Structure 1
């Protein structure tokens, strides 16, 4: 569906060239939701604008449904872009136009007749649950309602792909969740493929099938969401996970606890999150597990549980207990000072 191959974008500046995106490869399959996460300045916004050639790559290939965009004529590119909707952090609504006209105006410019415009506006306002707001102006709407209008406007051209450029970062947590629920609904019911960029790990957690971690213009880690949440490899990824789970412990605390035991992070997936495995460890091996931190995260398609425990007992029994947990499908990792 979306394929970026060896994409690089270099911007000239007075102090020399700036590489915003460096040799990125990305493949989003039809019907999936992929997320790109990174800190400010990582190159996320440039990357997503390369997908529909709002930014032209310095080198590399951009394909949608097997069509190479960089070789298209302006007219063919315009036609292809109609199948790629985009929503933004700041909504980009016309302040002096009603909700109805904000959605209708792009359709009119594309040459749709009044009947078709009316049909589409009403259809997609219903999908975003704003049918009663079509005569309102943006100033009369909340931030979440404005974003819903922007989503309806993007959907009105009936795209196959929806690009989201930090669409929830200006919203409060409750409104963010409602917008993410809407994006899930759009993906599931309309079959629209979604590529989003964000700096919020809870966005990745809630709706993404696959994740790319972007740093200094490069993808430093990529995997399915479940793999990323259970086995993060890069320091930046772990820092992002720290923002939504109690993973981090002080170096001094870890050092103190290690004097008479082992500090271990346990990661449970799916059904294992509800099993009394620590109780079994205590009974089978005579070790004492002390829970230091714990949380359960619901992902789009699974559940992940995280525990950091202090195991006290004979070293041989501690090793045996960790082997038992591994055999039960639990990932174990000795915790160092983080």
Structure 2
């Protein structure tokens, strides 16, 4: 449904040409939720604006439902844009218009009749939970309610694709969760494909099927959410994961503990999360694993568990233990320690 092929976006600056997006390839299938994550300045906002050509790529292709928008006629581009909704970090609501009128604005511009406008406004206000707020003004709403108005406004045009540009960044954690739940509901009930950008790993964790990691305009890693959380390859990805899960211990702590044996991280996913493998290791290999840190991360499509343990044993013992755990579906990473001979 969405294909970006070798997309490049450059800007001219005082010091020369700046490449904000550099040879990025993305493919989003119908009905999926994909997320692009990166730090400030990574090129995320520029990238998502290339999808509906709010920013026209310097080179590359943007293909929506088989139509390359970079080569589309003005009329083709207009028709394609009508099928793409977009929500922003700061809501972009008219302060002097009611909730009803804010949702109705694009419908009136598209020439819908008064009755059609009323039907659509009420329908999508109900979906986002704002039926009782239609006569209110933006300054009477909370941040979460304002974002719901913006979402209803986008949905009122009945798009096939919804683009989210840091839509939860200005919200508190509890409100963020409620908006993410709403996006999940929209995806599941209306079948709308969602592409979002964020710098918050918890957003990726909660709703994304597939993830792209962007750094300095380049795509440095991409994978399913489950694979990315269990087997991150790039340092930037690992930094993001460390913000929500205890995947490692500070080097200073490992050195301070002066541990013999090995400090290892066990990553559990799927069926392995329900097995008493630590207890099995203790009884089978006659060791006493010392749990230093642990957490569970619930993803949209599964659960990932991380446990950092110290095991005091010989190099041969550690090899046998890691082999046993690997055979039972656990991913092993050695973080430190000095194995006994």
Q: CA RMSD in A?
A: 1.1
What's the counterpart of residue 274 of structure 1?
274
Whether the aligned pair in 1 keeps the contact of 2:7 and 2:21 (CA below 8 Å) is yes
Matched, 1:2 2:2: yes
- Residues 243-252 or 167-176, more deviating: 243-252
What's the counterpart of residue 173 of structure 2?
173
Whether the aligned pair in 2 keeps the contact of 1:272 and 1:329 (CA below 8 Å) is yes
Whether the aligned pair in 2 keeps the contact of 1:180 and 1:203 (CA below 8 Å) is yes
What's the counterpart of residue 328 of structure 1?
328
What's the counterpart of residue 148 of structure 1?
148
- Residues 172-181 or 264-273, more deviating: 264-273
What's the counterpart of residue 263 of structure 1?
263
Runs of 4+ in 1 over 3 A off after TM superposition: 255-259
What's the counterpart of residue 16 of structure 1?
16
Could you state the TM-score of these two structures normalised by the residue count of structure 2? 0.97
Shift of 1:274: 2.5
Whether the aligned pair in 1 keeps the contact of 2:212 and 2:222 (CA below 8 Å) is yes
Could you state the TM-score of these two structures normalised by the residue count of structure 1? 0.98
Shift of 1:314: 2.6
Q: Tell me, what secondary structure is at the counterpart of 2:13?
A: coil
Whether the aligned pair in 2 keeps the contact of 1:261 and 1:310 (CA below 8 Å) is yes
What's the counterpart of residue 30 of structure 2?
30
Instruction: Give the Cα separation in 2 of the matches to 1:222 and 1:143.
Output: 31
Whether the aligned pair in 2 keeps the contact of 1:7 and 1:25 (CA below 8 Å) is yes
Whether the aligned pair in 1 keeps the contact of 2:248 and 2:308 (CA below 8 Å) is no
Shift of 1:270: 2.1
CA deviations over 1:277-308 (Å, ceiling 9, x no partner): 00100110112211111000100010000011
What's the counterpart of residue 161 of structure 1?
161
What's the counterpart of residue 223 of structure 1?
223
Classify 1:336/1:56 alpha carbon distance in 2 versus 1 (closer, same or farther; 3 Å): farther
Shift of 1:220: 0.2
Whether the aligned pair in 2 keeps the contact of 1:288 and 1:313 (CA below 8 Å) is no
- Residues 210-219 or 265-274, more deviating: 265-274
CA deviations over 1:80-123 (Å, ceiling 9, x no partner): 10000000000000000000000111101101111111110000
Q: Tell me, what secondary structure is at the counterpart of 2:233?
A: coil
What's the counterpart of residue 129 of structure 1?
129
Q: Which runs of 5+ in 1 are unaligned?
A: none
Shift of 1:275: 1.7
Q: Tell me, what secondary structure is at the counterpart of 2:317?
A: helix
Q: Which runs of 5+ in 2 are unaligned?
A: none
What's the counterpart of residue 205 of structure 1?
205
Shift of 1:258: 6.1
What's the counterpart of residue 52 of structure 1?
52
What's the counterpart of residue 76 of structure 1?
76
Shift of 1:72: 1.2
Instruction: Give the Cα separation in 2 of the matches to 1:99 and 1:332.
Output: 52
